[in-house]
Structure 1
Amino acid sequence: MNQTHTEDVLWPRYAEPADIADIEAVPLAERGLPVSTYALLRRAATLWPDRTALRVLPDGDRWQEPTSISFGQLLTDVHRTANLLHHWGVDRHSTVALIAPNCAELVTATLAAQLAGVAAPINAALSLDHITELLRRSGARVLITAGPELDPAIWATARQLATARVVDTVLLLAPTGETVSRPEPLGMDGLTIGPLHALAMDFDGTEFTGIPPAGTDLAAVFHTGGTTGAPKLAAHTHTNEVADAWMIAANTALDEDSVVFAALPLFHVNALVVTLLAPLFRGQSAVWAGPLGYRDPLLYGNFWKIVERYQISAMSAVPTVYAVLSQCPVDADISSLRYPLVGASALPPSVRTKFAEHTGLQLLEGYGLTEATCASVRSFTELPRDGAVGQRLPYQHLKAVDIDDDGTRHDLPAGQVGHLVISGPCVFPGYVVGRDGDEFRLDGLGALVDGWLDTGDLAMVDAEGFVHLRGRAKDLIIRGGHNIDPTTIEDALLTHPDVTGAAAVGRPDIHAGEVPVAYVTLTSPDAVSAEDLCSWATARVPERAAAPKLVTVVPDLPLTAIGKPYKLPLRVDAARSAALDALAELPGIADVAAAMDGSAPVVTVTVDSSADRDAVAAVLDQFTTAWLIEARHG
């Protein structure tokens, strides 16, 4: 097959919803996709060896001083690093852990880990216990991490892991454009520690000396967030990642000259698939922010100048980033920016409106999850669909199902709300639950049934494959046996022009089990009263039972490290406030606190000697929430 014909098959027209039928008329297997992320990189380096693949900024202030790396050099660096790993025994069944902020060397290391073995990116913000458990479960003995010059706190964590013999090889990354000093030895036999780049330079950069991965081999294991208990490890095959990257790259709105901005951390699938692998398909250049990414306050002051300087065409971020950008004066020519993607959490209408008014650009929603590799749904620039996060991507299939108590699933017709399930080439093979010899032991843990993945979300899928999310199934508020979708409350509050974010949870209630309450962020602290917002929501929710009993204004809504809504702290606060109100008339109450125990809040009441413990217990017994009574000391 000649190159021209191959490119025609690889890049069908994909500009509007109707194109999906023509795309799927050609089986995915006939589109000539690379077999692995390594084959994808080799293809890019062969087609565009001298074109700039990466521009990595040192930080948000030094945005005019990037380190530039061509596709050819990137392949050479990946070969050297992968050969170093292979030399130290990393093979197809070995896992390489990566704990570091974004930097030029981390991009190389991530691709090299997928070539030599299996990459395990880990969020450094997790607790040491959680990191240790993820390393144990993945079987990683090699850790690629930040040197003291890049991130002293992460380096301190790495020292603890090495001292505890959790890992036996530690390779250090330097800040972009700099080198890392050789650390002092820790004085432990059997521990290898050194600077990754300097060690890799002794190895061949022309070829990989091991066995390249096949499509069915694992490319990576990603933790799924870790908001309760130890995070799960979701496995990705090379086929999963290449297929999803192609579906993202097959976008007629972007071409080879498009430049992508990347600032999400590389332990997040969006950073890997959307801003690293997908650009490799088209030879697109990616501009990577510094180690703090979107958390760098200096980035926002220079953001629009960065767009102009590097002619940024597309970017991907969470709603909170766009809320901040809506307040940053546009002090540059941003006409190159055409594709601002938003995902990970619900997009408040006020953020959408303010960003459009401020920049003239429409935010494009998407939807996906780690267990389906990354993206499963996309929007269209010229054809917005009200209320939908977008249409399913080609070759991925989405539907709503009803799930019985015994787990049996029943398909629902288009237009009905149910549990959203996904099948197709991007659905993961399972969670890592252990090892059988050299092989990972994978299990769907009830989420994966006959190739269909339960996303945990409630949604309606229409006849054209557009997805309308209706909240998380496990976030349902149950008031007197009546199920309330918190999204209906959040949507009502988000229609208020001064509300920039909303989250509804159940608050323990003596009579109803729980009642809905909401937490909101505002354009300014005194923009509107909580009482007025209660009235606003009550007038707009679809049923009286869903009217929030209380609205609390907060400076920020809690998010996970990757920007997803994190409601557990709100449930804790709601449980505490309910107990505090119920105990208000009783003497001797010194303190009321609450904390999560697994996935449920536990209230702890501290009392002094004047308290009637039986009376306190009698009040708390009226709630379904677990509770403890402690005596105040001192």
Structure 2
Amino acid sequence: MTGVNAPSTLSSRIADTLVLDPAAPFLEFEGEWRTWGQLAMTADAVAAHVPVPGTRVGVLLRNRPAHVGLLVGLLRAGACVVTINPSRGVDRVRADLASLGLPVLAGTPDDIVAFAGEAGDGAVAAGEISETGSLAGDNDGIVTRLVLTATDLGEPVSVTGRLPDDLGVLRPGVAVEMLTSGTTGPPKRIPLGYEMLLRGLVGAKHYESNQDDTPRLRSGVAIVNAPLVHMGGLFRVLQCLHDGRALCLLERFALDTWADAVRRHRPRTISLVPAALRMVLEADLDPAIFATVRSVISGTAPLSPDDAEAFEARYGVPVLVSYAATEFGGGVAGWNLADHQQYGAAKRGSVGRAHAGCELRVVGTETFEPLPPDTEGLLEVRAHQFGDGAGWVRTTDLARLDADGFLWIVGRADQAIIRGGFKVIPDDVRAALERDPRVRGAAVVGRPDARLGAVPVAAVELRTAVDADEARAVAEALRADAARVLAAYELPVEIRVVDALPRTPSGKADLGAVRELLATPDQNQNRDQNQELEH
């Protein structure tokens, strides 16, 4: 098998886990189970077509069993997986594929046909995969890109096209080029190394009482509802592979399907992004569903302490907030149960303490010198994922760190809005708007302004639908209430009530989409509020 002897210890760990018990259940999807043996069959078939470790392979990645098999096979072979998000739309995905120039592309047959572009660019043309597997494409009729397709775990992997003579730039040691969610700007790909991911997986034991790292199949079923194309979902699947744990894969988060999975599989830990956690909280589910659940892990976006406390009060399950970033290949800080029990009330709103092997510090926004405890500045991280001797990595998060090592994220430096010389932190404005019980979620961005440079504007999603007149009244009331806790320059010049906030697949508010939504002012709101500011 080509490529299976890649030096990565993550690849070796995957190989060890795949052969422990082929008949044991591995993945449930839409009520049907697949075994570890079926996963191994697909993974081995995929790995055999990786020419050398470090080959960049694009994967049109969805939350389906076939995609898990493609992903595992490529990592098993030491390939560099380039994640491609099908939910970004056909035109953008085709442009992405054309710019990447990947020698190998993988996905399901339907996605390959839909997204691989026109025949002339060296990709599969829609409808041109023949019954024999031949493929029309370049001038000579053969596509100079290898195309791997899978339909399910344990089913045959189809191979069409051919490898180009030039494989392009190899990325040995890089497991994944992960496309970020693009919540603050254009998405970009972050290289995540095999060793980096393995260190992150070991560090994730921060949340567990059992620190045994012996390769074996463990009891219990993990529920994976985050998108595999983003860090949360990918990391969760890698955890299951590393720990030898079965998983229930959900194509997307849907309240009823998710609740049914929790009810049937009785997990000890569940993961919910803040938007999903609020949906569960509002649904007022039977607390008996959570009888076996000891904790909820929540990350990817700010979570209101009010929501965390309300969830625990209603369902009896503590919410353990975590802090992670794609660049770190997983979490670097978070709560565990022991800290929650001892410090939960005293450290309200914190995202926890550094994981084992990680270090945190806060530096001045201009001097970049370390600051004393409880002083706001830029967060820097020295993550164990980067290995011994790693330097400090400066984030764009504004934070404070107390004397006990607890971390608070107070905003994003790169999202700050400078309004006539005054700095507005969007998260402060968002939190003020979300205090109102009518508000399900809010997003605040800056809008260019000829007089002031930029002004804050907000989109607000309510818990119940309202008509246009009611929406205007709610917006006025929200602004008046926010004025009680915000300075005049922090108040949004426009608050627009929307049916639903645009969100990324990982559940974060899509700030780029919000900017587009609010790019054209509501002249009535904007004029009235500018007049108030001038007074």
Q: Which residue of 1 aligns with 2:280?
A: 325
Distance in 1 between the 2:390 and 2:100 partners?
A: 25
Q: Which residue of 1 aligns with 2:432?
A: 492
Distance in 1 between the 2:351 and 2:266 partners?
A: 27
Change (3 A) 1:130 1:457: farther
In terms of Rg, which structure is larger? 1
Q: Is 2:180–2:230's contact at 8 Å kept on the other side of the alignment?
A: no
**Partner-residue secondary structure (3-state), 2:87:** coil
Return the letter of the residue paired with 2:474.
S
Return the letter of the residue paired with 1:502.
A
2:69 pairs with one of 97, 108, 127? 108
Summarize the alignment of residues 127-146 of structure 1 with structure 2, pairs less than 5 Å apart: 127-128=89-90, 130-132=92-94, 134-135=96-97, 138-146=100-108
Q: Which residue of 2 aligns with 1:605?
A: none
2:266 pairs with one of 295, 311, 316? 311
Q: Which residue of 2 aligns with 1:344?
A: 300
Summarize the alignment of residues 61-210 of structure 1 with structure 2, pairs less than 5 Å apart: 65-70=31-36, 73-83=38-48, 85-86=49-50, 90-116=51-77, 117-128=79-90, 130-132=92-94, 134-135=96-97, 138-148=100-110, 154-160=111-117, 163-167=119-123, 185-188=134-137, 189-191=141-143, 195-196=149-150, 199-200=156-157
Q: Which residue of 1 aligns with 2:165?
A: none
- 1:132 Cα deviation after fit: 4.5
- 1:106 Cα deviation after fit: 1.2
Q: Which residue of 1 aligns with 2:354?
A: 392
Deviations 1:411-462 (A, max 9, x none): 222322222222223259xxxxxxxxxxxxxxxxxxxx98332322211122
- 1:335 Cα deviation after fit: 0.8
Return the letter of the residue paired with 1:123.
N
Q: Which residue of 1 aligns with 2:29?
A: 57
Unaligned runs of at least 5 residues, structure 1? 1-33, 59-64, 149-153, 171-179, 203-214, 429-448, 585-634
Change (3 A) 1:228 1:342: closer
Q: Which residue of 2 aligns with 1:222?
A: 178
Summarize the alignment of residues 215-364 of structure 1 with structure 2, pairs less than 5 Å apart: 217-226=173-182, 231-253=187-209, 256-273=218-235, 275-289=236-250, 291=251, 293-294=252-253, 299-328=254-283, 330=285, 333-349=289-305, 351-364=307-320
Deviations 1:215-254 (A, max 9, x none): 9711111112346876322111111111111111343356
Change (3 A) 1:394 1:36: same
**Partner-residue secondary structure (3-state), 2:207:** coil
Q: Which residue of 2 aligns with 1:576?
A: 520
Return the letter of the residue paired with 1:66.
E
Q: Is 1:538–1:547's contact at 8 Å kept on the other side of the alignment?
A: yes
The farther-off stretch of 95-104 and 494-503 is: 494-503
Distance in 2 between the 1:366 and 1:582 partners?
A: 38
Distance in 2 between the 1:364 and 1:105 partners?
A: 32
Change (3 A) 1:229 1:415: closer
Unaligned runs of at least 5 residues, structure 2? 1-6, 160-170, 212-217, 529-535
Distance in 2 between the 1:247 and 1:182 partners?
A: 47
Distance in 2 between the 1:450 and 1:578 partners?
A: 49
Q: Which residue of 2 aligns with 1:468?
A: 408
Q: Is 2:270–2:295's contact at 8 Å kept on the other side of the alignment?
A: yes
Return the letter of the residue paired with 1:516.
P
Summarize the alignment of residues 539-618 of structure 1 with structure 2, pairs less than 5 Å apart: 539-541=484-486, 543-577=487-521
Q: Is 1:130–1:231's contact at 8 Å kept on the other side of the alignment?
A: no
- TM (norm. structure 1) is 0.68
**Partner-residue secondary structure (3-state), 1:529:** helix
**May I ask how many residue pairs the two structures share in their alignment?**
483
Q: Is 2:181–2:230's contact at 8 Å kept on the other side of the alignment?
A: no
Distance in 2 between the 1:391 and 1:182 partners?
A: 56
Change (3 A) 1:454 1:510: same
Return the letter of the residue paired with 1:307.
V
CA RMSD of aligned residues (A): 3.6
**Partner-residue secondary structure (3-state), 1:410:** coil
Change (3 A) 1:488 1:502: same
Distance in 1 between the 2:193 and 2:355 partners?
A: 19
Distance in 2 between the 1:69 and 1:303 partners?
A: 21
Distance in 1 between the 2:206 and 2:266 partners?
A: 20
Distance in 2 between the 1:425 and 1:136 partners?
A: 36
Q: Is 2:42–2:155's contact at 8 Å kept on the other side of the alignment?
A: no
Return the letter of the residue paired with 2:435.
T
Q: Which residue of 2 aligns with 1:42?
A: 15
Distance in 2 between the 1:198 and 1:380 partners?
A: 40
Distance in 2 between the 1:509 and 1:228 partners?
A: 19
